[in-house]
């Protein structure tokens, strides 16, 4: 595979899986101590990667789950953010400015803070009440964060008696590192062609629904815009028909991500509409990826993980094709802002 270290990938994703027992133990302790809600409070891309887990809880559990922005909470607070809150703060670097600022406020509030970081010797690595460290870099962090947050959500469902097959699901998820690597290998021959689609336009409408919508948002903002300087319009598939459809015409690129959860029909609707008006519809569908031995239920849960792992292969070809390394920045962490 192009510019890819298989053993490094396995080591990082196995590290994420290896955190499951500890995350479950901490969540159980928090619930036993009387926690009454959970906040997923990341910044930027790390925040987006928490959304599928939060959505799972919002749809499956009566335990309140919130997503909010640290930069706003520092200024306003929240009536629901109290000493009985569990706060999950992901940050690959462990130094994200907005999250570090909120951490100080959380200490005052008395919330229980779980940090998910790539580096221990950092403000967030040292500042959480419970710190989970799994080294990763930009090209491997998506899968790692998706899995860690999913383990947290599943642990809440288990301890509240809102899921019957938790252990079976976790056993299947434990196989994901090797399975994801196999998906990468199988998709590699197709990755360059999809990269050519992305390189072929300077503007893309990127859309999806359900638990893969965050990956569409993430890939548009954090990869195509930040790392490739390609303009995008991420829009949820349910909102596609409330404004964005008017921009669809011949020559306009529409990128559709499809997952396997109950919200798939919303993506089907876009897929049925777009080809009538544009000649540039590209679809990336997790149902096309082989995951031997994985149940439909777990396939639905890991759809965003699958997309992330395939899009990494696409991005590896895209940066070469455009002679624009994914590490190139003009402003991000380069100037004062």
pTM of the model: 0.97
Give 135's pLDDT tier (boundaries 50, 70, 90).
very high
Q: Which domains does the chain have, with CATH numbers?
A: 6-173 (3.40.50.10490), 178-321 (3.40.50.10490)
How many Cβ atoms sit within 10 Å of the Cβ of residue 277?
14
pLDDT, tens only, 85-125:
999 999 999 999 999 999 999 999 999 999 999 999 999 99
Instruction: Please report where in the chains the tokens 């990869």 appear, as a residue.
Output: 223
Whole-number Å distance between alpha carbons of 187 and 73:
41
Instruction: Band the pLDDT of 288: cuts 50, 70, 90.
Output: very high
Distance CA 75, CA 102 (A): 9
Residue 60 is predicted with a pLDDT of 98
């Amino acid at each position: 595979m192009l510019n890819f270290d298989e053993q490094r990938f396995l080591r990082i994703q196995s590290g994420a899986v290896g955190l499951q027992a500890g995350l479950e133990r901490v969540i159980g302790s928090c619930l036993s101590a009387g926690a009454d809600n959970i906040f997923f409070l990341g910044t930027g891309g790390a925040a987006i990667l928490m959304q599928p887990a939060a959505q799972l809880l919002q749809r499956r559990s009566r335990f309140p789950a919130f997503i909010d922005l640290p930069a706003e909470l520092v200024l306003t607070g929240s009536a629901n953010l109290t000493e009985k809150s569990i706060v999950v703060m992901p940050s690959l670097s462990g130094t994200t400015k907005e999250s570090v600022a909120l951490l100080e406020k959380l200490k005052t509030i008395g919330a229980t803070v779980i940090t998910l970081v790539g580096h221990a010797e950092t403000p967030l690595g040292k500042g959480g009440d419970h710190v989970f460290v799994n080294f990763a870099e930009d090209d491997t962090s998506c899968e790692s964060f998706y899995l860690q947050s999913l383990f947290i959500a599943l642990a809440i469902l288990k301890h509240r008696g809102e899921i019957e097959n938790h252990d079976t699901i976790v056993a299947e998820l434990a196989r994901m590192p090797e399975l994801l690597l196999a998906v990468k290998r199988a998709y590699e021959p197709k990755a360059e062609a999809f990269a050519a689609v992305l390189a072929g336009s300077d503007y893309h409408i990127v859309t999806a629904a359900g638990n893969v919508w965050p990956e569409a948002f993430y890939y548009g903002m954090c990869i195509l815009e930040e790392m490739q300087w390609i303009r995008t319009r991420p829009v949820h598939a349910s909102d596609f028909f409330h404004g964005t459809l008017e921009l669809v015409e011949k020559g306009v690129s529409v990128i559709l991500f499809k997952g396997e959860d109950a919200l798939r029909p919303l993506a089907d609707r876009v897929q049925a509409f777009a080809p009538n008006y544009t000649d540039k519809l590209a679809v990336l569908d997790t149902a096309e990826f082989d995951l031997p031995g994985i149940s439909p239920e777990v396939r639905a849960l890991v759809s965003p993980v699958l997309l992330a792992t395939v899009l990494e292969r696409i991005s590896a070809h895209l940066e070469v094709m455009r002679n624009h390394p994914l590490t190139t920045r003009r402003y991000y962490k380069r100037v004062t802002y």
